[in-house]
Amino acid sequence: RGDQDIIFITIQKAYDELRDDDKRRAYDSAMSFDETIPGPDEGEGDEFYDTFAPVFKRNARFAAQHPVPDLGGVDDDEEHVEAFYSYWTHFESWRDFSKVAAEQAEVDLDDAGSREEKRWMQKEVKRQAKQLKKREMARVQELVDRARLKDPRLRRFREEDRARREAIKAQRRQARQQKEEGKRNAAAAKAEEARRKEEEAKEAARQAKLAKDKLKKQLRKLRNAIRRALLAAQDEAAAQARALDGEEGASAAALAEATEQQLDDQIKAVGDADGVAALQEVLDQITEEDDPVGAYETVTERKAELDKAALGEEEKRAAARAA
């Protein structure tokens, strides 16, 4: 009957442990478990999945958070892979090392001779269990780190990301170059435009000077011709005055003098391109007119027309400037 009591007590104790969640967790944690992880030289290339997947699946036994993501395969996208590693980086394990710690410390709380001894045993078990838990989590993190280092998908993602960043840099560099080239082209175009305008201004000034010199030359020739014609008319008028007596002679002489003065005034007043044509007309009239008096009247009328035309041109220019 004594042996039966021992068996009964053992069964009762086992039942109590299995019925209590904490004790059952400690019991399960003390069972044999393969804690090995792939070495630094294992799991290269295509062997990665077959090497690391079973290890993660084996350690998922102690996961406190569910569902536990699978390692996946070569075709997984970056979101799935990062979610997997995020889970295992922050892995929470329910594994309880209190029973293992008690066995290593070779203590049994039921054998404590006093309350103080029991508290010391509990403290020692707790201390060793904490160390074992810390070592366990370090082992899991080392597994995660080695997997990250070997995972060909992460390598591919890094290469793709590097390629994207290089492409962005190239685009930005090209945009800067295009912008700088645009500035250079704009500056060159502006300089070319300024040079062209300067050349055009110089050419226009040169042509204006040539035209002005030509006009001066024409005016000078006409003025000289008019003066010569005027002198001839004056001589003829003087001869007629000498032939006349008294008041008619004085009138003819005065008319000749007035004719000369009027023509001089007109020659001085006219100085543009229209003046060339006007002086040419005056010269033609003087040379064709036998009567100096008639020439004077003709010149006087022409001068009035020229003055009126000049006034009209000045009004037009004033209106153009105002607009």
Per-residue pLDDT reduced to its tens digit, 94-120: 998 888 877 777 777 666 678 887 788
Say if residue 310's pLDDT is above 50: yes
The closest of 274, 278, 276, 271 to 303, measured between CA atoms, is 278
Query: What Å distances lie between residue 69 and 54, 82, 125, CA to CA?
Result: 13, 11, 33
Query: What is the maximal distance between C-alpha atoms in the chain?
Result: 194
Percent of the chain with pLDDT over 70: 65
Per-residue pLDDT reduced to its tens digit, 135-186: 999 999 999 999 999 999 999 999 999 999 999 999 999 999 999 999 999 9
Say if residue 289's pLDDT is above 50: yes
- Chain mean pLDDT for the chain: 79
pTM of the model as a whole: 0.53
Q: How far apart are CA 1 and CA 9, in angstroms?
A: 12
99 and 29 Cβ atoms separated by less than 8 Å = yes
**In the prediction, which pLDDT does 61 show?**
93
When pLDDT is averaged across residues 44-60 and rounded to a whole number, the result is: 95
Helices 115-150 and 48-59 pack at an angle, to 10 degrees, of: 160
- With tokens 């001839």, the residue in question is 232
CA Rg value for the chain: 61
CA atoms within 13 A on the CB side of 114: 3
Helix or strand or coil: residue 63? strand
When pLDDT is averaged across residues 120-133 and rounded to a whole number, the result is: 86
Lowest mean pLDDT among 106-110, 228-232, 293-297: 293-297
39 and 53 Cβ atoms separated by less than 8 Å = no
- In angstroms, how far is CA 118 from the centroid of its own chain? 75
pLDDT band (50, 70, 90) for residue 2: very low
- Of residues 227 and 61, which shows the higher confidence score? 61
Q: How many other C-beta atoms lie within 10 A of the C-beta of residue 266?
A: 20
Q: How far apart are CA 99 and CA 13, in angstroms?
A: 14
